[in-house]
Amino acid sequence: MPHTKRSLLVDIAIILALGLIAYLGYKFSPLLLPKADVTLTPAEGCDLNRQTCHADLPGGGRIELTIGPQPIPVIRPLQASATFTGLVPDQVTLDFAGVAMDMGLNRVTLVPAADGRYVGETTIPVCVTGRMLWRATLVVEADRRRIAVPFLFEAPIGGG
């Protein structure tokens, strides 16, 4: 009988540990991959290599993203700037991912600037296979929800 009680305690401990792991995975998964309650589509014809791009918020408002210099170079400092109309962000991050190739984690937190923009600096790595399609996902936490806007752009080999 003591062996059965010990086995039951071990089973309970394993269940509690798995529950804790699941909770921590959910709580800290934003550190690994961007997830969202709402995913918006950027305006058609958007090209971050030439212009500021935007996405409209449901119910009104707008999110705008600019990355410079333009065209967007690889392995050189990039300045990212986001502006918001009809939304006051609690946190803003920009996550870069290669569409066809894993280029590792590349995430920057944008911080509020004096003029109301959210800004940050980052770089993207070079792809040795040539031009590469990138996804720059702007993740905005506001009003107890997470909004993601995936902007696509192409970056050349070499640096510009």
Domain ranges of the chain: 1-32, 36-155
Question: H-helix or E-strand containing 26?
Answer: helix 2-28
- Is pLDDT at 35 greater than 70 in this prediction? yes
Beta bridge partners of 83: 64
Could you give the percent of the chain with pLDDT greater than 90?
51
Per the model's pLDDT, the better-predicted residue between 123 and 1 turns out to be 123
State residue 59's pLDDT score: 86
State residue 100's pLDDT score: 84
The DSSP symbol for 3 reads H
Structure tokens, 43: 């305006």
Q: How many angstroms separate the CA atoms of 127 and 75, rounded?
A: 10
- Is pLDDT at 57 greater than 90 in this prediction? yes
Mean pLDDT of 123-145: 86
State residue 121's pLDDT score: 97
State residue 18's pLDDT score: 57
State residue 158's pLDDT score: 53
Give the architecture (CATH level 2) of 36-155.
Sandwich (2.60)
Structure tokens, 67: 């990355």
The DSSP symbol for 101 reads S
Q: How many angstroms separate the CA atoms of 111 and 64, rounded?
A: 15
Are the C-beta atoms of 138 and 29 separated by less than 8 Å? no
User: Which residues contact residue 49 at a Cβ distance below 8 angstroms, ignoring those fewer than 6 apart?
Assistant: 70, 71, 72, 153, 154
In the predicted model, what is the mean pLDDT of the chain? 83
User: Which residues contact residue 75 at a Cβ distance below 8 angstroms, ignoring those fewer than 6 apart?
Assistant: 123, 124, 125, 126, 159
